[in-house]
Amino acid sequence: MVSRKTIDIEWGDCDPAQIVHFPRYFAYFDACTTALFKKAGLSKQKMLKTYHIAGIPLVDVRASFMAPSRFSDTVTVESEITEWRRSSFCVRHRLFNKNVLAVECFETRVWAVHSALDEERIESQPVPQEVIMKFSRGRNLSQVRKNARRKRP
Amino acid sequence: MVSRKTIDIEWGDCDPAQIVHFPRYFAYFDACTTALFKKAGLSKQKMLKTYHIAGIPLVDVRASFMAPSRFSDTVTVESEITEWRRSSFCVRHRLFNKNVLAVECFETRVWAVHSALDEERIESQPVPQEVIMKFSRGRNLSQVRKNARRKRP
Amino acid sequence: MVSRKTIDIEWGDCDPAQIVHFPRYFAYFDACTTALFKKAGLSKQKMLKTYHIAGIPLVDVRASFMAPSRFSDTVTVESEITEWRRSSFCVRHRLFNKNVLAVECFETRVWAVHSALDEERIESQPVPQEVIMKFSRGRNLSQVRKNARRKRP
Amino acid sequence: MVSRKTIDIEWGDCDPAQIVHFPRYFAYFDACTTALFKKAGLSKQKMLKTYHIAGIPLVDVRASFMAPSRFSDTVTVESEITEWRRSSFCVRHRLFNKNVLAVECFETRVWAVHSALDEERIESQPVPQEVIMKFSRGRNLSQVRKNARRKRP
């Protein structure tokens, strides 16, 4: 499952060099991960309520910036899960500007709950199989895991 | 040369999970790179005027998030150049929260000028040796390059 | 002319109280003003190139927050010019969440150019009549000004 | 009680017109209100825990932008409570750049708790007198209220 999100680059996303200030790309990608889960039937609001999680925070991220984007540009981001691990998963985002791959980003996120011992602490938990299954269409779980692994960057 | 910057985590930097929303870390780190150059005698404003550059945009970044931070926390970021290449350089940021390494980030940035042929385009250029020298103290350039390489992550 | 923009409230737009952090509303509204001009045929990029302006910065803004919005909410913003003055103009934004007026914002912006004497300075200039005319449809300028004045908040 | 906060204008706070993008000012001012309460002995974290509030969200804000600020500028913001009402209060921020008043902002905020009936809803509550007293020094409450009213914008 690949989610596609169209983003208008705004004036306020750009810096004095006239190009997108790079932290904004991560805000875009965070919204793209949200959109990917929504496409799988899991809006952020619903996901938090159904699974009593604190969120899906990042433990690792890397990005390559191949070409700059500017205000008034409209870009498209393609997002997909590339791997399901026990309590974490990997998301790849590819941002295209006029069909050119401009930014590529790899996120590793954890399925995180508030600790039972200390409400302030956050700890990882196995990703529910039904969540993983929502990203597969008519395939069984072992196939999903296998395919995801193959695509692994 | 290591630059240290103290940052108060603000309410608006945190998300509904009560922790810093990760794109904000990159805004912190961008400010830390600015502070590192300022410590070397190069304020952003001065750097742009003196060397007629468009900026020092990122081509690559990666970060690991080891522990979350929360509003009302005060954190410290240690930043240093870990490598000088021909027209790019690497910066390492380590964010400490109560003496615990909470986030580590590696930026690769380019020394970028507006293209002479197309004012809209940005292209890399060799980093001036006098810029590199500002980060060394009483050492010659080859030593600086060597040491930086040794620290390379 | 009224421009309507649909905005998905993102996780990263919300604060630890689970509601949109108010500075984000102003980023939304800034994008809505951009969209309003684009609807009139003036993309930001084109506007800057055609009229050699530095931008349309704010001199005054006020907003009332009647109801909070949350991540996973989809809101609609209606934006329109309420008054054309000599070198400034007023924009009203009304943000609706499930048909309830949640935020109302009034911006006063200036038509700003880089000063001829000092490239660093920004100064206001009369709004070109052809810009104002783009917001009217088959009406003459005096009618446009008159109507806008009537709607004045 | 007046709180003074020094802010370094960052590259990422500025837009393609080379000046601070106005929504960022509101993020500054939000941090200044936090600093003002902290000076009175109420860090945001402590305030939320002690009084079981959801926060102090805005119901109304207005700002005037008299002069632009740029990256590498260091500005100072003076913040003070100008009025205590029953369940709301007013804060005035004045941002100075090289001793020139560049931005003035008036916030009206409410003392907000999560509704007992619906955890998702937020409702206002009277500001505790001990909170108001923390902003006075050796004066009684009626004087504090009276003085605040006098300063009312």
Nearest CA in chain A to D45: A120
Q: Is pLDDT at B143 greater than 70 in this prediction?
A: no
The D residues from 60 to 119 touching B (CB cutoff 8 Å) are 70-72
Neighboring chain B residues of A24 at a CB cutoff of 8 Å: 23
Q: Is pLDDT at A145 greater than 80 in this prediction?
A: no
Q: Is pLDDT at D118 greater than 50 in this prediction?
A: yes
Query: Could you say which residues of chain C have pLDDT below 50?
Result: 152-153
What number of CA atoms fall less than 13 Å from residue C26's CA on the CB side?
25
Nearest CA in chain D to B30: D12
Contact B44 D70 (CB under 8 A): no
Give me the mean pLDDT over the B85-108 stretch.
Answer: 98
Q: Is C21 on the interface with D (CB under 8 A)?
A: yes
Give me the mean pLDDT over the B30-39 stretch.
Answer: 98
pLDDT tens digits along B45-91: 999 999 999 999 999 999 999 999 999 999 999 999 999 999 999 99
Show the tokens assigned to D138. 């050796």
User: Which residue in C12, C44, C71 is closest to A45 by CB distance?
Assistant: C71
Q: Is pLDDT at D2 greater than 60 in this prediction?
A: yes
Nearest CA in chain A to D12: A15
Rounded-to-integer distance, Cα B135 and Cα B133, Å: 5
Rounded-to-integer distance, Cα D122 and Cα D117, Å: 10
Cβ contact A48:A55 at 8 Å: yes
Higher pLDDT, A152 or A31: A31
The pLDDT assigned to C153 comes to 46
Neighboring chain A residues of C72 at a CB cutoff of 8 Å: 43-46
Task: Report chain D's mean pLDDT, rounded to a whole number.
Answer: 92
Residue among A92, A87, A6, A1 nearest A39 (CA): A1
Q: Across the strands, what pairs with C6?
A: C76
Task: Using a pLDDT cut of 90, give the percent of chain B over it.
Answer: 82
Contact C17 D122 (CB under 8 A): yes
Cβ contact B152:B86 at 8 Å: no
The pLDDT assigned to C148 comes to 59
Q: H/E/C letters for each residue in chain D?
A: CCEEEEEECCHHHECCCCCECHHHHHHHHHHHHHHHHHHCCCCHHHHHHHHCCCECCEEEEEEEECCCCCCCCEEEEEEEEEEECCCEEEEEEEEEECCEEEEEEEEEEECEEECCCCCCCEEECCCCHHHHHHCCCCCCHHHHHHHHHHHCC
Cβ contact C144:C52 at 8 Å: no
Q: Is C51 helix (H, G, I), strand (E, B) or coil?
A: helix
Q: Is A123 on the interface with B (CB under 8 A)?
A: no
The pLDDT assigned to B152 comes to 47
User: Which residue in C17, C24, C64 is closest to D54 by CB distance?
Assistant: C17
Q: Is the dihedral of CA C110, D6, B17, D107 positive or negative?
A: negative
Rounded-to-integer distance, Cα A152 and Cα C132, Å: 53
Using pLDDT thresholds of 50, 70 and 90, give the confidence band for residue A121: confident
Contact C11 B12 (CB under 8 A): no
**C127 residue type, one letter:** V
The pLDDT assigned to A118 comes to 86
Q: Is pLDDT at A150 greater than 50 in this prediction?
A: yes
* A15 flagged as catalytic: yes
Cβ contact D53:D120 at 8 Å: no
Q: Is A1 helix (H, G, I), strand (E, B) or coil?
A: coil
Cα angle B26, A25, B99; round to 5: 15
CB pairs under 8 A between A and C: 41
Please compute Rg for chain B using Cα positions.
16
Contact C22 D57 (CB under 8 A): yes
The pLDDT assigned to B147 comes to 58
Contact B72 D12 (CB under 8 A): no
Cβ contact A132:A141 at 8 Å: yes
Contact D44 B70 (CB under 8 A): no
CB pairs under 8 A between B and C: 24
The pLDDT assigned to B153 comes to 46
A contact chains, 3+ CB pairs < 8 A: B, C, D
The pLDDT assigned to A139 comes to 54
Neighboring chain D residues of B43 at a CB cutoff of 8 Å: 72
Query: How far is B105 from chain C, CA to nearest CA, in Å?
Result: 20
CA end-to-end span of chain B: 16
Catalytic residue among B8, B13, B15, B118: B15
Cβ contact D78:D3 at 8 Å: yes
Could you list the active site residues of D?
15
Contact B19 A65 (CB under 8 A): no
Q: Is pLDDT at A45 greater than 90 in this prediction?
A: yes
Give me the mean pLDDT over the D78-101 stretch.
Answer: 98
